[in-house]
Structure 1
C-alpha cells in the first residue's frame, strides 16, 4: 500500500525571490512545471524554457495570481548557442530538462546517446557558463541541477541517462568551487522515480528490457530499491529546489540533496 503525497500545493519555508529572475528548463511539465510555480509563488520572474509551446502557455495560465510571473520561452536545448543566450541575467538557474530511453547498451542508438548528453549535460554547462558573469557581478546566485538517484547509482539499460546525470554531478561541484568566492551556490537535487510523464513513458520499455508485464514494472523495477514504496511528487522536488534558494541554505554548496526514499541507504 502506497502512502499519499504530503504535498498538494506549493508551500514551504519562507522564500522571497522578489526582484529575482529564475530560469527553469524542461518547464512545461513534471518537475519543471512544479519548480516554475514554486519560484513564481516566491515572487520570482521565471523564464520557463521548453520546446512545448502549448505546455508553456498552459503553465503561464496556471501562474496567474502568483506574486511572481512566468515568461514562456520556447527553445530546443539541442540548439546550444540559443540555450546559452537564454541564461542572460539569470539569478536562479534550474537545470531540469531531461529525456530517457531504456535499451541495452549493445542496442542503444548512438544518435539518442548524443542527444541525451547534449540536453542533459552540455546544455546545462552552456547555461551555467552564461549565467555566472551576472551572478558574480551581483555577488549572489543559485544554481540547482535536477539530477537523480541515477547521478549516484547506476541502473541497467540506462547508459545515456546515467552517464549524463553522473556528469551533471561533477559539473555542479565544479561550479560550486568556482562560485563560492562570489556568493554563488551550486547543488544537485536527486529524486528517485517521480510521478511525471517521463517515468510513465518508460514503463513499456522497462517491461520489455526486464522481460516482465508492464503492470509489474512499478513494484518490481521502479520501487524495488526504495524503502518508501511510492513515487515522489513533482511538488516535493520543487520544495527541495526552493530550499536550496533560501537564506537557510546559503552554506550548502557542492553537494547532492537526495530524495530517494531510502534507495541509497542499501
Structure 2
C-alpha cells in the first residue's frame, strides 16, 4: 500500500493476537514498527518475528495507563525509530459479567485500559504527528460499541467512548492532516476472548454462542484485521476520516 514504507508506526497491545498480526503486516509494508505492550517478553517475541523475517521492529514495555511511562516510551521510540506518524491503539481488556454483578474496582480497571490508556496515547503522540505534518490514527474498538453486548456493559461503554473520541478528533484535526478511523472487530479467536469466556459460567457455551451469532459461522482470526488497518494508515486513505468499520463476518451491518 502507498505511503507506509519507512513510516514509524506504534502499535499498542502488539505482543499477541491482533496486535502481533498487525505489527507483522506493517513490517511487511516496510514500516518501522514500535511494538508496545506491558508484557515485555510478548512484545520482544513479536519484534523478533519481524526482524527474523527481515523487517524493522523494536519492542517497548510500558503500561498505557501510566501517562508518565508513555511519555518516556514515546520519546524513546522517536529516538530509536523516528517521529511516529501512525498510531494503532489496539490494547484492550475485558471481563464477562452482567453489569449489576460488577463492582467499581472492575469498572476502574476496564476504563483505565480501554479508554484512559488510549487517551494517554493520543495526548502524547498527536503533538509529534502535528510536528511531522500529519499522520494516521486507527483505534481498535469493538462491535460491542456499536450494538451493545450482554455481559460487557463497561467494556462496550469504553469502546463507544473511543468511537466518540475518534470522531471528535477527526473534526478537530482535519485541517492538520491527521486522520482518525475506527476498526470494530467482532468476537475474535484470541487469548483475550478465551480469558473473557473463562469468567463466564459456561465458557464453551459462550464461545459457541459467539460463533453462531456471526453470519459466516466462525470467530474472527487475528489475520482478518491487518489489511483494513494498514489500508487506513496508508496514503490510499488520505480522504477517509471519522469512519467506523466493522470487521466481524457480518455480525453487525451498520449503515
TM-score scaled by length of structure 1: 0.87
What are the within-5 Å matches in structure 2 for residues 117-266 of structure 1?
A: 117-206=111-200, 208=201, 213-220=202-209, 222-265=210-253
Match of 1:75 in 2: 62
Q: Give the corresponding residue for 1:9.
A: none
Structure 2 stretches lacking a partner, 5+ long:
76-82
Structure 1 residue 85: Cα displacement: 4.0
Cα distance change, pair 33–193 in 1 and its aligned pair in 2 (3 A)? same
Distance 1:199 1:61, change over 3 A: same
Aligned mates of 2:94, 2:72 — CA distance in 1 = 25
SS at match of 1:264: coil
Contact preservation (8 Å) 1:173, 1:255? yes
Instruction: Give the secondary structure class of the aligned counterpart of 1:76.
Output: coil
**Cross-structure match for 1:50:** 37
Please say if 1:37 is aligned against 2:24: yes
For 2:42 and 2:178, the matched residues in 1 are separated by: 31
**What is the aligned length?**
247
What is the root-mean-square deviation of aligned Cα atoms in Å? 1.7
Q: 1: CA distance between counterparts of 2:142 and 2:64?
A: 19
Gaps of 5+ in 1: 1-13
The alpha-carbon distance between structure 1 residues 256 and 147, as it changes in their structure 2 partners (threshold 3 A), is same
- Paired position in structure 2 for 1:114: 108
Distance (whole Å) between structure 2 residues aligned to residue 136 and residue 78 of structure 1: 23
Q: Which residue of 2 aligns with 1:4?
A: none
Higher helix share: 2
Partner of 1:19: 6
- Please give the alpha-carbon distance, in whole angstroms, between the structure 2 residues aligned to 1:139 and 1:83: 22
- Measure how far apart 1:193 and its partner are: 0.8
Does the 8 Å contact 1:21/1:91 carry over to 2? yes
Q: Secondary structure of 1:263's partner?
A: coil
Note if contact 2:44-2:58 (Cα within 8 Å) is conserved in structure 1: no
Give the C-alpha shift of residue 16 in structure 1.
4.3
Provide the secondary structure at the position in 2 that maps to 1:38.
helix
Tell me how far apart the structure 2 counterparts of residues 255 and 142 of structure 1 sit (CA, whole Å): 13
SS in 2 for 1:119: helix
Cα deviation digits, residues 88-120 of structure 1 (max 9, x gap): 432100101011111122221321211211111
| Residue 26 of structure 1, CA deviation | 0.6
Aligned residues of 1:227 and 1:263 also touching (Cα < 8 A): yes
